[in-house]
């Protein structure tokens, strides 16, 4: 079995757990509030701002036998640089404050995602970082475009509020195909196990990030429910 297919098979349980997060179903159905969407963008900013630094750290630690991966990382960097600014643009289009979003502290889940990736690169096997790439890109392709369409309709926001989701949705399918080819080129068992392990952890942490977003129930209704 090609490794990319095996990676998907071995992480199926964690992937389904992430996709079962209630807020994802709400987003696809157009039930997410403006506050929830801005909260999601804020947390996305905190992990996306580390994408290029993580790619650089990974590339610097790859052994010579992984020159193909290193060259791919150069291409990834060219494609990913500046995406955190797109998220800030979206936050502004939603009525948020760019400076406040930039300076805010990340939630625990986003902080742990980034910390785990840096730690795995530095102390274990840098190839494992591609497990994080698998989770973020695969999840985006699965839900981002549909979520953007549902939220645009329900929240009445302009297209400029969804540059991050739309750029990482169905338009990214070719990127995922190329990632699959890269993973199929991995034949070392330790490299493969590292990618699977990091992917499993990231699915859990990313799923927790979605579950950490505040409830869609308005504050007034919530107070009535607990009165």
Give the number of domains in the chain: 1
* Confidence (pLDDT) at 215: 63
The answer to whether residue 156 is domain-embedded is yes
The answer to whether residue 112 is domain-embedded is yes
* Confidence (pLDDT) at 150: 85
The closest alpha carbon to 6, from 127, 134, 120, belongs to 134
The answer to whether residue 94 is domain-embedded is yes
Place of tokens 């079995």: 1
Question: Could you say which DSSP state residue 216 is in?
Answer: S
Q: State the CATH number of the domain containing residue 88.
A: 1.20.910.10
Task: Tell me the residue range of the domain where 211 lies.
Answer: 3-215
- On whether the CB atoms of residues 21 and 210 are closer than 8 A, the answer is yes
* Confidence (pLDDT) at 142: 77
For 3-153, strand residue ranges (E) read: none
- On whether the CB atoms of residues 91 and 38 are closer than 8 A, the answer is yes
* Confidence (pLDDT) at 220: 38
* Confidence (pLDDT) at 50: 97
The answer to whether residue 227 is domain-embedded is no
The answer to whether residue 220 is domain-embedded is no
* Confidence (pLDDT) at 219: 37
The answer to whether residue 224 is domain-embedded is no
The answer to whether residue 150 is domain-embedded is yes
Average pLDDT per run of 10 along the chain, which is 227 residues long? 95 96 89 93 96 97 96 92 94 95 96 98 97 91 83 88 80 78 96 98 96 64 32
State the burial class of residue 95 (Cβ atoms within 10 Å of its Cβ: 0-12, 13-18, 19+).
Answer: exposed
The closest alpha carbon to 146, from 165, 164, 163, 133, belongs to 165
* Confidence (pLDDT) at 175: 77
The answer to whether residue 223 is domain-embedded is no
């Amino acid at each position: 079995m090609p490794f990319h297919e095996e990676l998907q098979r071995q992480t199926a349980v964690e992937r389904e757990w992430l996709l079962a997060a209630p807020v994802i179903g709400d987003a696809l159905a157009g039930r997410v509030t403006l506050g929830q969407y801005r909260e999601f963008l804020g947390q996305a900013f905190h992990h996306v701002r580390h994408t290029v630094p993580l790619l650089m750290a990974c590339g610097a630690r790859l052994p010579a036998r992984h020159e193909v991966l290193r060259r791919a990382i150069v291409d990834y960097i060219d494609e990913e640089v500046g995406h955190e600014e797109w998220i800030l643009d979206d936050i502004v289009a939603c009525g948020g404050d760019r400076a406040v979003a930039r300076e805010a502290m990340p939630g625990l889940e986003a902080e742990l995602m980034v910390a785990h990736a840096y730690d795995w690169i530095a102390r274990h096997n840098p190839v494992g970082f591609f497990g994080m790439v698998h989770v973020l890109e695969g999840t985006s392709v699965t839900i981002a475009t549909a979520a953007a369409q549902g939220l645009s309709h329900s929240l009445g926001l302009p297209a400029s509020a969804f540059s991050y989701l739309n750029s990482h949705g169905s338009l990214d399918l070719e990127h995922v195909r190329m990632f699959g080819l890269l993973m199929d080129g991995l034949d070392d068992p330790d490299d493969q196990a590292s990618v699977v392990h990091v992917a499993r952890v990231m699915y859990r942490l990313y799923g927790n990030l979605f579950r950490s977003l505040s409830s869609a129930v308005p504050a007034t209704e919530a107070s009535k429910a607990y009165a």
